[in-house]
Chain A
């Protein structure tokens, strides 16, 4: 169709509009894509890593050691996998090391760089500490006054967020690390070390019965389920935070953007009503005209969607890695799922297509004569506002500019709102990053102590209002600081 030649020429002639609509579509979709890719990537990594390296269901310790032969019968009776873990904490002054004897069944490690220790003077160290302090295989580290050669670095599933103690709430990869040495070296230096028990529950496990049995026979002194273990849960929490952000962004930004572009498209089509009237008078069918203008509308949707997919492929890894800066150096596969990429192209394009179709359909419901005269859609009631009032013409004019073109006014307000939201979002993000970078965990800790002390210093409760306030304060303190600040 000759009429199709208009597409490229019209884009050239109205480049600012198409560029703005495309960029707007792209920016908002990209925000959704990046958060979604980061979230799903981390989640998928967690699932695979935890499964492959046998993440514990729980760690527990007992006052009475469970005999080795009893472990087997417990495993059978309760459908669990049980293993004793031997470890020892070594305090070297500025640096503290937790040394493990390698497990065989639960919480296994994955070598990130280098190799297994081949001699008693070789160790594996946790990857986060190695990266943070620039320690590479072949370098030397000191553990308890003895120097070892670093054979390699590792990750293990129950230490993906490296907190030293369970009550800590911020990572420590500067003065704390994990290490594996040969069984021979471990036994020679530390004997059996300390023992804690690791368990993986099976599908048929009655967890309560198992814990009761352990407690009654061996006197449980501590129990930490992996679903309450910060070192584990932070992985999924980060993933969930990204995924929730992506859906929040999807609801707010792309929907508003699509609405904005639809309104702009509608206004562009309305501005072509004389041409639509002419083509209709020349014998073009309604369906043909709807198709012609709808294809115009596809352009920003398709180009925006495709550019977003390309940008997402390029930016997904750096963006996702930024979100994992606090974690051990995990390597999730940040991948844009094909269905998301396709949906990102198809959905906005389809909405624009339908919006244009509806607009042309509505225009063609009017008389051709009115279309030719450019009169369709120009009869908004707002244009007659204050018509019979004695008000200065400047005010009438200003007011009619706003209420006379409700679509245009809405687009302007929506544009301002969207712009402000994006700017505010970006600045809050920057601010958070800067705050963490500058003040660090120490400042956050100080803040928590201050909040704790302020919450604790409530006046003596008198009257029912004060008593409720005091009760709420006590609940808040308990929830925030179960073990004190």
Chain B
């Protein structure tokens, strides 16, 4: 398995006020698959994504990505994991406001070991014409595509998308999903998307439903659809 999560637990607060964000989660995903994690707010899906991305650590349990145990990684080793293995797309894009589109992507490409061709990615995401614009001069959809370009330019093994289309209109959402589909097919990038939107699950190979910090169900999507086919 490419991703393996074993009995991951995470608790916030203590005593009576303790809340389990993850309560013994077991999860696995094959390489090159797209997985959509569905669940209501506070169900623990973002916590799981952050743990797999090396930004948070479980109180107990173990997480392995591509054979590398990431629980317990600290300092330079953790930074190296984030830098080399994970591309992260944030819900609110988190672009650097005083850098242009091109520079926002370069910020990552220049620290990556085997970066992809930036121009190719900008073309593929249809944002090449905005390359000298600043984030504030772009729409939400355009900013999200820049965020995807920034995550993908390092050629990560694993693409993690937090509420990928949460802040986008239908047209922009479809365009972004189309690109996710393309890069998964073209580069074989394992992709994990967390969302509230049930429709996006139709795009996935695997659909995981989380409730109250536990995995409620895992299902293989036998009737996988393309981004153009699904109704958003």
Q: What is the interface of chain A, defined by CB distance below 8 A to chain B?
A: 1-3, 5-6, 9-10, 13, 274-275, 278-286, 367-369, 372
Contact = CB atoms under 8 A, between A and B. Distances in A.
Contacts of A2: 99, 103, 106-107, 110
Contacts of A280: 79, 82
B155 to A, nearest CB: 12
A283 B55 contact: no
A278 B98 CA distance: 14
A282 B88 CA distance: 7
B88 A281 contact: yes
B76 interface: yes
A13 B94 contact: no
Contact of A281 (B53, B106, B107, B112): B53
17 contacts: A2-B106, A2-B107, A5-B98, A5-B103, A6-B99, A13-B98, A275-B96, A279-B107, A281-B88, A282-B83, A282-B88, A283-B80, A283-B154, A285-B76, A367-B55, A369-B56, A372-B90
A260 to B, nearest CB: 25
B56 A368 contact: yes
B150 interface: yes
A184 B144 CA distance: 101
B56 A9 contact: no
A367 B79 contact: no
B107 A3 contact: yes
Contacts of B90: 278, 372
Contacts of B107: 2-3, 279, 282
A283 B84 contact: yes
Interface string B214-232: 0000000000000000000
B111 interface: yes
A283 B82 contact: yes
Residue of B56, B76, B98, B107 contacting most chain A CB atoms (<10 Å): B98
Interface residues of B, number: 26
Contacts of A6: 96, 98-99
Contacts of B150: 282
Contacts of B79: 280, 283-286
A367 B110 contact: no
Nearest to B147: A278
B26 interface: no
B151 to A, nearest CB: 8
B56 A367 contact: yes
A284 B150 CA distance: 13
Given A367-B56, A372-B90, A282 B82 contact: yes
Interface string B96-122: 101100010011101110000000000
B39 to A, nearest CB: 17
B197 interface: no
B98 A9 contact: yes
A283 to B, nearest CB: 3
Interface string B53-66: 10110000000000
B50 interface: yes
A13 B103 CA distance: 18
Given A2-B99, A275-B96, A372-B94, A283 B53 contact: no
Nearest 5 Cβ contacts at the A-B interface: A283-B83, A9-B98, A368-B55, A278-B94, A2-B106
A182 B57 CA distance: 97
A368 B81 CA distance: 14
A3 B107 CA distance: 6
B83 A369 contact: no
A323 B158 CA distance: 72
